[in-house]
Amino acid sequence: MKESQAFEHLEDVIGDIDAGLIALYNKKFEKLKSDESKAVEKEDYVELKRVKEEQVSVLRKLILFYEKKVEYLNKLGQEIETGNQEIGSKGVSVFSDKSLNEFKNEEFLKGNKIKIQGGGKYFVAEKLNDNNVYKVISVNIEGIQSGDVLKLSDMKLGGPGTVTVYRKPEGAERFEELKTFKFNNVREIIKNPS
């Protein structure tokens, strides 16, 4: 969040320099070119000298604004490079431990993990396929164990959530519904907990 705010600030400053100062002084310089042509046409030496001096002044200011723009572009490049190095060092873990305000099954992809906690109970599960099927990795809820399969309702922080638990009996080919329980007050939803 902090990085994106820094990027936005730098991009805003660069945009202000471009749209404001550089555009303004480019217009002034174009007007001075027109004034120069008029002075030459009239053979007005004094006016031509004044226009040339003002052109130099405007060009110097333009150079300063372009230098400032380059300075901010370099800062932006450094921020992006730092972010890229962080991504390189963390790998896919840059997407770990993302707190969510709500959980929607259809927004989770196969392989994503979810941790839901509330009322002193929690579970961590991994989505197994495109359907609403999650395999329990870690849990502290009585009667549920690692390896069980869950079907989850959509949930929001502070709201309720329903979890249906399935287990494959020894020797059976299919999972059977074991129980359904409800979180009455979901306190934490974390995508891809580490």
Give the CA distances from residue 97 to residues 113, 123, 130, 162, 175, in Å, rounded to whole numbers and listed in that order.
10, 14, 22, 22, 30
- Which DSSP symbol is given to 96? S
Q: Which of 136, 184, 180, 177 is nearest to 160 (CA)?
A: 184
Pick 83 or 55 by higher pLDDT.
Answer: 55
Give residue 3's pLDDT band: very low, low, confident or very high (50, 70, 90). Answer: low
Give the CA distances from residue 8 to residues 47, 83, 85, in Å, rounded to whole numbers and listed in that order.
44, 14, 19
Of 7-21, 48-62, 144-158, where does mean pLDDT reach its minimum? 7-21
Each residue of 29-60: pLDDT tens digit?
Answer: 999 999 999 989 999 889 999 999 999 999 99
End-to-end distance of the chain based on CA atoms, in angstroms? 19
Q: Which residues contact 12 (CB under 8 A, 6 or more apart)?
A: none
Distance from chain centroid for Cα 106 = 20
Task: Please report the pLDDT score of residue 132 as a whole number.
Answer: 87
pLDDT at 97 > cutoff 70:
no
pLDDT at 24 > cutoff 70:
yes
